[in-house]
Amino acid sequence: MITPTHTRLSLTAAVAVVAGCSLALLAPWQAAAAVTPPRADFNNDGRVDLALGVPAYADGTVTGAGAVSVLPGAAAGPNASAKLVVTQNSTLNGTALPGSSEADDAFGSATAYGDINGDGYGDLAIGASGEDDTAGHNDIGGITLLYGSASGFTADPTMYHLPTALRHNGQRCGTSLAVGDFNADGKGDVLSLCSGSSSVMWIDGATKAVRTNAGTVNPYAPIEGEDITTADVDGDGYDEAVLSVVNHDVGPRMTVLPGSATGLKPESAAQVDRAPAAWSLATGDVNGDGRDDVIGGSPYGGSGQGGAVVALYGSTTGLSADRSTTITQDTTGVPGSDEASDQMGYEVAVADVDSDDVDDVVAGVPGEDLGETDPYDADQGAVLVLRGRADGLTGEAATTYSAATEGVAGAAEAGDLFGSAVAAADFTGDGNTDLAVGIPGENTGDGTVLTLNNNTAGGMDTGSGLYFGPGALNAGAGSEFGIGRVLAP
């Protein structure tokens, strides 16, 4: 059994590739279509760049300050030799990041890509959920924005928080992030759920004004599991904000805040009836109808409590459990079985893995036990690839990958938690979707990330694997930073 810690993105939401993913068809009178965020490609070289958020990173002697390592895409996969390690003490293209590295800031607790300033380059939003303010509030959280360009990232000198009057200790804004275009102005707006309270904040991409719908999402704090994604689920041309909140006292809640010409409309927020208990969210089109669908990972779902993945299909009337598909490891075609604490769906990502023009779902199963009887084989972990089809998400032809899969370098070890984070994007620039998998338990908590390149036949070339451990942060073995809990895209 693994401890349910949950740091983010998402995206987008979720886990933060600069991808044209996650996060419709319009009549002439409707608003112009929301601009799809560019791929997670900060320098527009045609390859997705992988961002590793490491909130436990020690910046020198400052423990828990946090960092983000950006690995540019390359022909063989993410290029560690060209990595950029960013902390709150960094200066990028002559502009210093706001704030400074302080103990337990948890910079990198969430990441999300999108074109925030509308210049066509992928930008990166970074959460620091343990950030304090200068007014005496502790752990309110903050968001830093990095703008991509041909010459690399430039930092926004402002750190973004909730308005002062709405702040209180322990809010931890920035634990979940997503980028969408809520007013269809061509600039990405940054959405954050604050895990220590019921507050949601978003940053307008054009004006940088911070707005909030405090109290709308869940009046029963603290939140125990949560995530965010953005999607135009009703096809009106404006992205909606979709927020999933799990609280054991009141059950799961999924809230949709509609977009409009003036941005999000919290006063028109709608609850999704019989929503899944989703701890992770992602967006894509898994039935090929041209509308965004929302994928929820429910790691404690399923009849055996081994987890589930739920596809909620977009429509003109929004999301409904009546238009959904639930997949568990007991579903026909899915490898394995629904066993307690497998945590299928702990993280999810959506992309077209098999190049059939319908998106597929990658689901992490970090609690998967690969041994038959040996207790020391517990929590090695795995990932599942579920196929999208014209009639929706299916278990048919599902595939699984782990450190025990033939051809994958390394070994599956107890407590690795393979699949704690997942990302699916084209890191090599060949037009096919590759995988990135977080393994935060590797080497007793040092952690690592494994990438696998697509074999162009809808599967992964298991011999192409690249690992990114402490060296991706210029750190040594024994650092125990838990690399692999936060990925972007």
pLDDT in tens, 68-103: 999 999 999 999 999 999 999 999 999 999 999 999
Residue 128 confidence (pLDDT) above 50: yes
Read off the tokens for 318. 């929004």
Least confidently predicted of 12-16, 161-165, 170-174? 12-16
pTM of the prediction?
0.91
Q: Of the segments 26-30, 399-403, 457-461, which one has the largest average pLDDT value?
A: 399-403
Task: Give 21's contacts (C-beta < 8 A, 6+ positions apart).
Answer: 11, 12, 39, 282, 283, 284, 349, 350, 351, 424, 425, 489
The band of 268, judged by pLDDT with boundaries at 50, 70 and 90, is very high
Mean pLDDT along residues 370-387: 82
For residue 33, the model assigns a pLDDT of 36
3-state helix, strand, coil in the chain (%, to 5): 5, 35, 60
Read off the tokens for 348. 């999810």
Which of 146, 185, 150 has the alpha carbon at shortest distance from 68? 146
pLDDT digits (tens, 9 = 90+) for 196-255: 876 679 999 999 999 987 555 445 555 677 899 999 999 999 999 999 988 777 778 899
For residue 9, the model assigns a pLDDT of 39
CA atoms of 65 and 105, how far apart (whole Å) = 5
CA atoms of 330 and 147, how far apart (whole Å) = 44
- Can the peptide bond before residue 28 be classed as cis, meaning omega within 30 degrees of 0? no
The band of 396, judged by pLDDT with boundaries at 50, 70 and 90, is very high
What is the percentage of the chain residues whose pLDDT exceeds 70? 88
Identify residue 24 by its one-letter amino acid code: A
